[in-house]
Amino acid sequence: MKRTPLIIREYDEIPIEGQLTRADIEELSKFDRKVFKVRNGNLAANNHVGIITTSSGAVLEILPKVDLQEEDDGEHEHTRRVFLQMLRCWRGLSARLPPSDIRALSRFPMLEVFVRQFLERVTEIARHGLARQYRSVQDNLPYLRGRIAFAEHIRENLVNNARFHVAFDELTSKRAVNRLIHTTLTRLSRWVQESGNRQLLREALVKIAEIPQSTNIHADWREHDVDRSMPHYEEAMAWIGLFLFDQGLATYSGSHQNLSVLFPMEQVYEHFVTDCFRRYQRAYRVKSQGPQKFIASLDGQAAFKLMPDISLIRGDAVSFILDAKWKRIDAARDYPKHEIDQADIYQLYAYAKRYQCPAVALIYPRNRHFQQHITYRLFDGIRLLAIPFDLTQPEVSTKHIVKELQVSCHHSEKKYNAW
């Protein structure tokens, strides 16, 4: 019997009693420590978001810990929609998440959302026709085809003149990409529950029934090739990379052939903020992971490379440097650090000095305890801002941050001696 997914958020502890059994939790404990950690003796989610299954059929859905304008998100629909919008910008996901689909699909569990995208791509492939390629075949046939393989023909047909051992090239759709699609569809059939997805899955399996499944998915993945004649395969293969291989994240060490699709929130958030600055402001050119400079040299050789997350550039000069951090800041605490990592301050200060920026900023997700920016004045006049980014209003947040940086720049001093 299908089980309802258990939904938790980042950093939440997994309940021992309920939808997951102790055996399920034992399986989950074998995942990479980037995904789960032990807290107070219990297993808790870390900072990866997505879905994980267990051998018993349990599905765990991990959602990002975001504060929404509306207090009530009991069905998790709004949180899911915010995350899927962020995920569209993640450069590790080459598959497409159409914005028109996000609102409609966010009411479903994340697994069903990802499966729907894959099934729609497979439907498109079937509509174009399965890609075929020539392969070399040797066979002992009752008729002549291609050329005779004389050594094998003599060995096998010395006393049987009615057959020919031949070698020939055959145009076939039984190639690695199609075997991987069939294998993925079969594995997903265990987990899909939504009626529309099940219908698409059945139709896809019928259309690919003549293709055998992979006997070695790793060999087929190494062999598969999406050439210029089959661009409609690209996104389907990107989803297969996630469904079959947890692309970029080796998470499981047990014997169960689990299904997990997990995304690192640090990267997802950084790429989302970068994309917002490219889309929603025109005052500055945006450079990601650059421009690269070195902070030291040894015997004339450069050392210790600097690669800022986000640089806002006007003309040839770097005006501001931003660092996007997926962390909850508590500005309400009567404590000047407000849980900001001191190492991040050192890093931003190094950026400011090396790139000669009057102001730099740490961009954190907005939450109920962090809704107004904090301005730190460093000892030599540089201003360092910690600024909340509202994930539900990215355009408003982007324009607000640019304005705050410009205002801060005007107020920056060459020297600040008030200590």
pLDDT digits (tens, 9 = 90+) for 28-65: 887 767 788 888 888 888 888 988 888 888 888 999 98
Q: Is 221 part of a structural domain of the chain?
A: no
119 and 64 part of one domain: yes
103 and 158 part of one domain: no
Q: Is 340 part of a structural domain of the chain?
A: yes
13 and 124 part of one domain: yes
- Check residue 415 and give its pLDDT: 44
Task: In whole angstroms, give the CA distance from residue 88 to residue 124.
Answer: 20
Domain that residue 58 falls in:
6-128+230-264
0.95 exceeded by pTM: no
pLDDT band at 228 (very low <50, low <70, confident <90, very high): confident
Q: Which two tokens stand for residue 326?
A: 């997926």
- Specify whether the CB–CB gap between 287 and 313 falls below 8 A: yes
Q: Is 35 part of a structural domain of the chain?
A: yes
Q: Is 22 part of a structural domain of the chain?
A: yes
Say yes or no to pLDDT of 233 above 50: yes
161 and 290 part of one domain: no
User: When comparing pLDDT for 419 and 381, which is higher?
Assistant: 381
- Specify whether the CB–CB gap between 373 and 350 falls below 8 A: no
pLDDT band at 414 (very low <50, low <70, confident <90, very high): very low
- Specify whether the CB–CB gap between 83 and 263 falls below 8 A: no
Domain count, the chain: 3
Q: Is 63 part of a structural domain of the chain?
A: yes
Q: Is 191 part of a structural domain of the chain?
A: no
36 and 165 part of one domain: no
Q: What is the mean pLDDT of residues 247-258?
A: 48
Q: What is the pLDDT of residues 63-104, one digit of tens each?
A: 998 887 655 566 688 899 999 999 988 887 777 777 777 877
Q: Which two tokens stand for residue 196?
A: 């529309």
- Check residue 335 and give its pLDDT: 78
159 and 18 part of one domain: no
- Check residue 253 and give its pLDDT: 41
290 and 399 part of one domain: yes
291 and 404 part of one domain: yes
Say yes or no to pLDDT of 203 above 90: yes
19 and 64 part of one domain: yes
154 and 237 part of one domain: no
153 and 252 part of one domain: no
Q: What is the mean pLDDT of residues 262-273?
A: 93
User: When comparing pLDDT for 413 and 304, which is higher?
Assistant: 304
Instruction: Find tokens 């998915």 and name the residue.
Output: 217
**H or E element, residue 398:** helix 394-411
37 and 102 part of one domain: yes
Q: Is 271 part of a structural domain of the chain?
A: no
